[in-house]
């Protein structure tokens, strides 16, 4: 028979343990609720621009072939901010519920995350915030326009739902094909791109936020492609990089990157970030 004093002690210990368990549950939630654990570190990246960021790799005749390269495999430490504003485990296509009027396939985001994750601390989570919309021009991303407002709103809410350990670490931007339609659009691309960077940084209160843009691999008018590329490659601002997609293989439409090209681009983006923004990791 257990003495009464021992029973009392066991009851007391159990009650204390149960109390602390409740406190832990009150201050942390898991990803199934759409809110991350407040104790974990989350590196958030905004994926924005148009179709080659949203991803058309593996999309042919209006259907995605569902071939997923090993570089795109899911990982419990890679999450995606869904259209329902919840953090969920990331799977390709990342933009399927964002760029909803088009068929999405493989883009660079998942490859970037899988290549970035190994340089992070063991408990770090990578949070991807898809915002890209196919066929959009730079003017549609100006501050005050719907696409800009939606991107900022998603970024702010993603940060809030990441908890106290969350931080926006960068913007990955691939856009410009739509601005190779007329010379007047191509001529103002550089000024509009610089203002976009300034506005995003200002509205997120992060004046040094890393920003990596992709120099075009394709477009509508050949001479205007070169004009927009020149604008992209010549932007000289602190913590702004440009990776060049020109040599990457295109699908038969001569506009969208193949799946293999997206894998290479994701690796290029991760390499550029890790090399140049080590202080942000």
Nearest to 269 by CA among 206, 207, 215: 215
Asked if 172 contacts 200 with a C-beta cutoff of 8 angstroms, the reply is: no
33 in catalytic set: no
Q: Which residues of 127-162 are buried (b: 16+ CB within 10 A; e: fewer)?
A: bbbbbbbbebbbeebeeeeebbeebbebbeebbebb
Q: Which of 43, 95, 185, 256 is catalytic?
A: 256
CA atoms within 13 Å, Cβ hemisphere of 188: 12
Going by their DSSP bridges, the two strands 87-89 and 78-81 should be labelled as antiparallel
Q: Which of 33, 202, 223, 253 is catalytic?
A: 253
256 in catalytic set: yes
234 in catalytic set: no
Q: Which of 43, 48, 51, 82 is catalytic?
A: 51
Nearest to 115 by CA among 243, 240, 5, 229: 243
Rounded to whole angstroms, what are the CA distances from 266 to 90, 93, 113, 116, 212?
15, 14, 8, 10, 12
Asked if 179 contacts 189 with a C-beta cutoff of 8 angstroms, the reply is: yes
Nearest to 272 by CA among 130, 129, 115: 115
Residues assigned a catalytic role: 51, 253, 256
């Amino acid at each position: 028979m257990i003495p009464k004093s021992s029973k009392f002690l066991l009851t007391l210990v159990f009650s204390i343990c149960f109390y602390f368990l409740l406190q832990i549950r009150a201050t942390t939630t898991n990803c199934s609720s759409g809110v991350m654990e407040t104790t974990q570190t989350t590196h958030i990246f905004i994926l924005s621009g148009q179709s080659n960021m949203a991803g058309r790799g593996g999309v042919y005749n209006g259907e995605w072939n569902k071939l997923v390269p090993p570089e795109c495999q899911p990982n419990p430490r890679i999450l995606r901010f869904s259209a329902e504003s919840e953090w969920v485990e990331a799977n390709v296509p990342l933009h399927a519920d964002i760029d909803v009027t088009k068929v999405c396939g493989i883009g660079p985001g998942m490859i970037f995350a899988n290549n970035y994750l190994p340089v992070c601390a063991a408990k770090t989570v990578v949070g991807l915030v898809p915002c890209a919309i196919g066929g959009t021009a730079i003017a549609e991303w100006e501050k005050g326009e719907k696409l800009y407002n939606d991107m900022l709103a998603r970024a702010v809410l993603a940060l809030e739902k990441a908890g106290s350990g969350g931080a926006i670490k960068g913007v990955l931007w691939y856009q410009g094909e739509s601005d190779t339609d007329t010379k007047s659009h191509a001529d103002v691309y550089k000024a509009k791109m610089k203002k976009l960077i300034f506005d995003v940084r200002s509205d997120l209160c992060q004046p040094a936020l890393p920003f990596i843009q992709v120099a075009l691999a394709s477009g509508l008018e050949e001479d205007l492609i070169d004009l927009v590329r020149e604008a992209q490659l010549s932007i000289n601002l602190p913590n702004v990089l440009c990776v060049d997609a020109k040599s990457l293989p295109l699908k038969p439409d001569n506009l969208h990157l193949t799946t293999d090209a997206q894998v290479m681009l994701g690796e290029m983006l991760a390499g550029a970030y890790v090399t140049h923004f080590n202080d942000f990791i």
